[in-house]
Amino acid sequence: MSSPVKRLQNSFSKLSRTNRKIAKVVIDDPQLASESNIEELAKKTRTSTASVSRLVKTLGYNNYREFTLALAYTQLSPQNLPIFKDIDAKDSFSVIADKVFTGSQRALQDTRSGMNESDLARAVLRIINCKHLGFFGLGGSSIAALDGYHKFLRTSLNCSFYNDYDFQLMQAVRMNEDDCAIVISHSGKNRQTVKIAETLKKRKVTVIAITSYPDSPLAAHSDISFISSSDESNYRSEGMYALIAQMAIMDALFMMAAVRMGSAVEGTIRNVQNIIESTRS
């Protein structure tokens, strides 16, 4: 199957004027296009999201996400390996595995060293005393948000998580000053995530941010922020190290909250464990 760029090049002369504007941007800078969401690409090409969506379906992709994944995959050809600055093409699989695991360990150590007792105490206090705990994260960060929701669902806290952006935004509007939100974004500048954070702040919700960039818009809109360290300059893999660090932060917050809640949460955890155990043969 040919790459998205090749398909666009082959069909360029047959495309409408609007589609040519989109195709030219993708062909000229496929990496930029692969890192843009559908709204950003529409803005860059001065077209509409509907036009972008129709074009990618014309090319044979089910949706825009599938198109950008295919586009990103073509950027991983051997000539582009320098983005993996720690990894040499001649490395054995064992050496590559060692480097990946070492990078993960370094990210966890750096993340832990940046967490202070005061911020942890403030975060846990807000979590255990809130009426509703919401988890927010899009794209890769939705994995960490879902993991946090899965953990805290085992406690007596009232929790929520929605994978869809519109649902998350609606949930944010429903929250108030008695609630707490954990908002996750690797870059901290995803426009949709920042919009959610802005909405939460307007509603006077306590916002706990987990991001890799302390100077990001998300961090600026948070009451408490934890920085998930990730050495992406050495090994760029869609924030993989950051995701591992984010999940470790989430696990730490869960354990601290559970310990502080004591007997109030013990019964719920046991009930959840028992019902899950009953489904296993």
107 sits in which H/E element: helix 93-113
Could you tell me which residues are beta bridge partners of residue 142?
A: none
φ, ψ at 223 (rounded to 5°)? -85, -35
pTM given for the model: 0.65
* The two three-digit tokens of residue 199, written as one number: 């909405």
The CA radius of gyration of the chain, in Å to the nearest whole number, is 22
Domains of the chain with CATH codes: 4-75 (1.10.10.10), 117-277 (3.40.50.10490)
Q: pLDDT tens digits, the chain, 281 residues: what are they? A: 567 888 888 888 889 999 999 999 999 888 888 888 999 999 999 999 999 999 999 888 889 988 888 887 766 544 444 445 566 767 788 888 888 888 888 888 888 988 999 999 999 999 999 999 999 999 889 999 999 999 998 888 999 999 999 999 999 999 999 999 999 998 899 999 999 999 999 999 999 999 988 889 999 999 999 998 755 444 444 467 888 999 999 999 999 998 888 766 666 666 666 666 677 66
Range 61-67, long-range pairs (CB < 8 A, 24+ positions): 61/4, 64/37, 64/38, 67/4
The dihedral of CA 121, 123, 125, 128: what is its sign? negative
| H or E segment to which residue 243 belongs | helix 240-261
Task: Name the residue among 241, 184, 247, 194 with its Cα closest to residue 217.
Answer: 194
